């Protein structure tokens, strides 16, 4: 399939000189019209006898010596296209990264190794004549392999002299640029000593045994590993990965955030140091060279464990036996543009294609995964105790309505939370504060006329960022100077409403001027590796209080954290989303789980204006099963997932009336053409009606068979006369409903 062919597949002849070198997934160059285009081999077959076969053109060039996609990845591409109603070509371009399609300029590196072994007499003579050359000889002999020349602790003159004497030899090879590759240059693979594993408790052992039994069966199986926070799920993952590597298989380990890959890769490398394989990392924030080399290391079979975020699921791993999806409930596994695939669900289907085992792990599983385990589609393994029987941190709910009545001065930090922070500082313990809103304040408002300063391109207030005195739109990126007068009435009486992490940080530093407090959010992570640096300082005890957004709620493990404060538990609760209760419960439980993970007892303080809300009360009791059953019953009442599938169809354009008319015509067209296939709700304006000057209207489809529904939608979209200035996108199993 040529990349520029719009998803069409063409037949080409393999010339004699390339016979036996091309396979499905090979990257090649082919003629397409008057041009030459890059593409991927989809399948191989005999030359057809039909008359048209005489006009078949030859493959022009093989771009890479090994296939860059595996056969199962090609099948996965077709499934994603069908399931998510996405063009096949856009899916292929998503699967195969641009750095692999285009290639990168190789960087050469020089290595030095011993060319021959000296006799004791010759070595003694060298020691008397040239001590530094003899020292270099000893160094290379100890390393037992080629060492990167730039890493040698010897001058260029000494190295050149030993090479010129024929005692050492120099070689040039392509530099492997791999992220977080801590391997010492020249060290032999598989000879390091792995860190000793902790002894598994009975629940961990039972979960690992069940997963290993599925691996032994060598057929597809998905396990839902429901382990409470701090229960040691990672040790179960590591045990399963070790088994697969020992048996010659490969594994993919998915994490929900790019920021979690350094911590995860460091831990896995430490624990699997004795396995004879390279462990590589893959995510979008790496350099082009790092991404290209990681992908090719997998394609060549050099790497048998790949760690990464969502897109790592497409890596060309050979003999794939295990896929781990850590924190499977996280919405970040869902792609936010076409094709709108969900990394967790793609992982499950890829495991099905490979006959591999997929492990979905979480302390707060998604309702979809829980339901699949409930009906027997997934195996359910539970770990209900924390490691070493550590106690769960008690959760205290602070009613901010009462706090506001008695507040003197700031109201961001309640009295119980401020007192608890002060107590931790006195005991030299660490605290984490969670607020899922960036910026200084959420809006600027004029109390005289009621005007809220909004983005000129979106139907959303601009967020005030005090550090640079700017108003920013977190939807489209629009930036403008902070207003000093109301643009509507001219009043200078501009007030800030709500608070974000910047404002919370300012108040925190005022309350505790001697404490080292650091903010960790997207605005604070502009520099590369800033996340790693901040977490490293926090782990080393250089930071007393860490204040952050949702990125601090996922998978972080700091033994000296004894207090977690949630500044506003209502942010995710009161939104027009049928998953609002589920997300609020998950966030509270996950953030609370950062406390008390070491030998010190933990405490959680939650600030809310709705203390009686069901998700908050369930989280306080840590009653996962009761919450899920309650939420499942509510979903059943309204026909929401996981009882049925949902498809969201969004129409957008610059002309509001034209968008509305198109959506209404489509809904009427669909009612007549696909009656009985799904329930149609809408059209209606999206909760965020305008983004980047585009007015947005959505239509919802509820169905039992999503593959049939997606196929029919694809057919009908092709037949529907849609204006060119109205764009539509289909999101199957949507996460974002804004």
Residues making up the binding site for Zn(2+) = 446, 449, 455, 458, 473, 476, 486, 489
Q: How far apart are CA 479 and CA 452, in angstroms?
A: 16
Tokens representing 549 are: 């957004």
Q: How many CB atoms lie within 10 A of CB 104?
A: 16
Q: Are 234 and 288 in contact (CB under 8 A)?
A: no
Three-state secondary-structure class, residue 76: helix
Question: Closest by alpha carbon to 384, among 625, 732, 712?
Answer: 625
Q: Are 484 and 492 in contact (CB under 8 A)?
A: yes
Q: How far apart are CA 388 and CA 690, in angstroms?
A: 51
Three-state secondary-structure class, residue 13: strand
- Compute CA distances 727 → 129, 476, 623, 640, 654, whole Å: 78, 17, 44, 26, 10
The binding site consists of: 446, 449, 455, 458, 473, 476, 486, 489
Q: How far apart are CA 333 and CA 348, in angstroms?
A: 13
Is 678 buried (19+), middle (13-18) or exposed (0-12) by CB count in 10 A? buried
Q: How far apart are CA 542 and CA 551, in angstroms?
A: 20
Q: How far apart are CA 348 and CA 719, in angstroms?
A: 33
Tokens representing 48 are: 């057809």
Tokens representing 37 are: 């285009």
Q: Are 307 and 326 in contact (CB under 8 A)?
A: no
Q: How far apart are CA 325 and CA 253, in angstroms?
A: 6
Q: How many CB atoms lie within 10 A of CB 297?
A: 22
Q: Are 333 and 343 in contact (CB under 8 A)?
A: yes
Half-sphere exposure of 588 (CA within 13 A, CB side): 35
DSSP, res 375: T
């Amino acid at each position: 399939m040529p990349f520029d062919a719009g998803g069409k597949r063409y037949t080409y002849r393999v010339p004699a000189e390339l016979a036996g070198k091309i396979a499905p997934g090979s990257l090649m160059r082919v003629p397409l019209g008057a041009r030459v285009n890059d593409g991927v081999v989809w399948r191989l077959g005999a030359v057809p006898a039909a008359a048209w076969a005489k006009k078949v053109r030859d493959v022009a060039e093989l771009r890479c010596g090994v296939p860059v996609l595996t056969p199962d990845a090609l099948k996965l591409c077709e499934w994603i296209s069908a399931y998510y109603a996405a063009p096949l070509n856009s899916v292929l371009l998503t699967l195969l990264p641009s750095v692999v399609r285009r290639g990168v300029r190789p960087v050469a590196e020089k290595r030095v190794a011993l060319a021959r072994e000296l006799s004791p007499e010759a070595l003694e003579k060298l020691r008397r004549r040239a001590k530094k050359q003899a020292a270099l000889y000893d160094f290379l002999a100890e390393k037992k392999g080629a060492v990167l020349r730039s890493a040698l602790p010897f001058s260029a003159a000494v190295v050149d002299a030993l090479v010129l004497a024929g005692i050492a030899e120099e070689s040039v090879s392509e530099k492997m640029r791999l992220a977080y590759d801590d391997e010492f240059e020249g060290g032999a693979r598989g000879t390091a000593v792995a860190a000793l594993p902790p002894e598994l408790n009975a629940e961990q052992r039972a979960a690992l045994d069940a997963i290993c039994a599925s691996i032994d069966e060598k057929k597809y199986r998905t396990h839902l590993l429901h382990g409470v926070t701090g229960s040691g799920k990672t040790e179960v993952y590591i045990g399963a990965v070790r088994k697969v590597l020992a048996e010659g298989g490969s594994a993919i380990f998915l994490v929900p955030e790019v920021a979690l890959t350094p911590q995860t890769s460091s831990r896995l490398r430490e624990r699997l140091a004795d396995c004879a394989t390279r462990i590589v990392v893959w995510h979008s924030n790496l350099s082009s060279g790092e991404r290209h080399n990681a992908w090719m290391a997998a394609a060549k079979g050099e790497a048998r464990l790949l760690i990464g975020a969502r897109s790592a699921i497409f890596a060309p791993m050979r003999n794939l036996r295990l896929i781990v999806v850590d924190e499977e409930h996280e919405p970040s596994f869902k792609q936010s543009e076409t094709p709108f695939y969900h990394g967790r669900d793609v992982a499950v289907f890829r495991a099905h294609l490979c006959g591999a085992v997929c492990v979905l792990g979480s302390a707060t599983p998604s309702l979809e995964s829980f339901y699949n385990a409930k009906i027997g589609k997934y195996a359910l393994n539970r770990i209900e105790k924390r490691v070493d029987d550590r106690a769960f941190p008690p959760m205290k709910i602070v009613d901010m309505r009462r706090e506001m009545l008695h507040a003197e001065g700031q109201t961001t930090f309640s009295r119980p939370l401020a007192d608890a922070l002060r107590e931790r500082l006195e005991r030299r313990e660490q605290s984490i504060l969670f607020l899922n809103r960036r910026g200084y304040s959420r809006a600027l408002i004029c109390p005289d006329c009621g005007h809220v300063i909004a983005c000129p391109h979106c139907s959303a207030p601009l967020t005030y960022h005090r550090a640079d005195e700017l108003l920013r739109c977190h939807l489209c990126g629009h930036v403008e100077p902070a207003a000093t007068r109301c643009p509507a009435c001219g009043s200078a009486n501009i007030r800030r409403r709500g608070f974000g992490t910047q404002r919370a940080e300012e108040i925190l530093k005022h309350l505790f001027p001697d404490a080292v407090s650091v903010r960790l959010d997207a605005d604070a992570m502009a520099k590369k590796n800033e996340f790693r640096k901040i977490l490293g300082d926090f782990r080393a005890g250089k930071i007393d209080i860490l204040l952050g957004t949702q990125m601090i709620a996922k998978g972080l493990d700091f033994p000296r954290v004894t207090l977690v404060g949630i500044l506003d538990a209502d942010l995710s609760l009161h939104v027009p989303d049928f998953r609002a209760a589920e997300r609020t419960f998950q966030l509270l439980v996950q953030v609370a789980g950062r406390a008390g993970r070491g030998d010190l007892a933990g405490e959680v303080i939650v600030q809310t204006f709705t203390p009686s809300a069901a998700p908050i009360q369930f989280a306080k009791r840590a009653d996962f099963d009761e919450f899920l059953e309650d939420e499942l019953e509510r979903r059943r009442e309204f026909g929401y997932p996981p009882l049925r599938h949902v498809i969201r169809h969004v129409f957008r354009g610059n002309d509001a009336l034209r968008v509305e008319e198109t959506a209404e015509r489509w809904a009427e067209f669909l009612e007549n053409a696909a009656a009985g296939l799904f329930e149609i709700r809408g059209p209606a304006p999206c909760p965020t009606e305008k983004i980047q000057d585009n007015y947005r209207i959505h239509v919802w489809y509820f169905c039992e068979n999503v593959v049939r529904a997606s196929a029919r939608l694809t057919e009908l979209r092709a037949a529907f006369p849609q204006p060119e200035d109205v764009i539509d996108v289909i999101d199957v199993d949507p996460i974002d409903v804004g």
